[in-house]
Chain A
Amino acid sequence: MRPETMRIVDDLRDQNILNLEHAKRENQKIVGMYCAYSPKELVLAAGALPVSLCGTRQEPIAAAEKILPRNICPLIKSSFGFAITDTCPYFRMSDYVIAETTCDGKKKMYEILKDYKPMHVLHLPQGTNRPGALKWWTDELYLLKDQLEENLGVEISRESLREAVKLVNKERLAMRKLHELNKVDPAPLSGMDMLTSLWMKGFNVDVEEGIELISQLAEEVEEIARQGASPFAAGTPRILLTGCPVGMGSEKVLRLLEECGGSVVCLENCSGFKAVDTLVDEDEARDPIEAIAEKYLQIPCSCISPNEGRFDLIDKMIDEYHVDGLVDLTWQACHTYNVEGELLNQYVKEKYDLPYLHLETDYSTSDLQQLQTRIGAFIELLNNRRKA
Chain B
Amino acid sequence: MITVGIDVGSMTAKAVLLNDNEWLSVIRPTGCSPRQSAREAFDELLQEVGISTGEISHITGTGYGRIALDFIDNAVTEITCHARGAHYLVEGTDLVIDIGGQDSKVIRTDGQGNVIDFAMNDKCAAGTGRFLQVMASALGADVSELAVLSRGAEPVEISNMCTVFAESEVVSLLAQGVAKENIIAGIHRSVARRVAAMAGRLGTGSKVTFTGGVARNAGVKEFLAEELGAEINVVSASQLAGALGAALLAREMAKISLRRLDYG
Mutual binders A and B: yes
Q: Using CB atoms and an 8 Å cutoff, list the residues of chain A in contact with chain B.
A: 355, 360, 366-367, 369-370, 372-374, 376-377, 380-381, 384
- Give the chain A neighbours of B114 by CB distance below 8 A: 381, 384
- Give the chain B neighbours of A369 by CB distance below 8 A: 64
Binds A, one of B76-84, B157-165, B186-194: B76-84
Contact partner, A377, options B64, B77, B123, Cβ 8 Å: B77
Check A367–B123 contact: CB distance below 8 A. Answer: yes
Q: Can you spell out 14 A-B residue pairs with CB atoms less than 8 angstroms apart?
A: A367-B122, A367-B123, A370-B122, A373-B64, A373-B77, A373-B103, A374-B120, A376-B77, A377-B77, A377-B78, A377-B115, A380-B115, A381-B80, A381-B114
Bound: A355/B114 CA distance, A: 13
Contact mask for chain B residues 105-141; partner A; CB cutoff 8 A; 1 contact, 0 none: 0000000001111101011000000000000000000
Check A370–B123 contact: CB distance below 8 A. Answer: yes
Bound: A381/B82 CA distance, A: 13
Given known contacts A367-B123, A373-B77, A381 and B115 CB-to-CB distance under 8 angstroms: yes
Bound: A384/B120 CA distance, A: 20
Chain A proximity of B182: nearest CB distance (Å): 33
Chain A proximity of B52: nearest CB distance (Å): 30
A-B contact count (CB 8 A): 42
Interface size on B, residues (CB 8 A): 16
Bound: A255/B218 CA distance, A: 41
- Give the chain A neighbours of B118 by CB distance below 8 A: 374, 377
Bound: A373/B79 CA distance, A: 8
Bound: A377/B76 CA distance, A: 8
Given known contacts A360-B122, A366-B123, A370-B123, A380 and B77 CB-to-CB distance under 8 angstroms: yes
- Give the chain A neighbours of B78 by CB distance below 8 A: 373, 377
| Nearest-CB residue, chain A, relative to B249 | A380
Chain B proximity of A376: nearest CB distance (Å): 4
| Nearest-CB residue, chain B, relative to A380 | B80
| Nearest-CB residue, chain A, relative to B76 | A380
Chain A proximity of B62: nearest CB distance (Å): 10
- Give the chain B neighbours of A374 by CB distance below 8 A: 79, 118, 120
Given known contacts A369-B64, A373-B79, A381 and B116 CB-to-CB distance under 8 angstroms: yes
Bound: A373/B123 CA distance, A: 12
- Give the chain B neighbours of A384 by CB distance below 8 A: 80, 114-115
Bound: A384/B64 CA distance, A: 21
Chain B proximity of A50: nearest CB distance (Å): 37
**Which has the most chain A C-beta neighbours within 10 Å: B77, B115, B116?**
B77
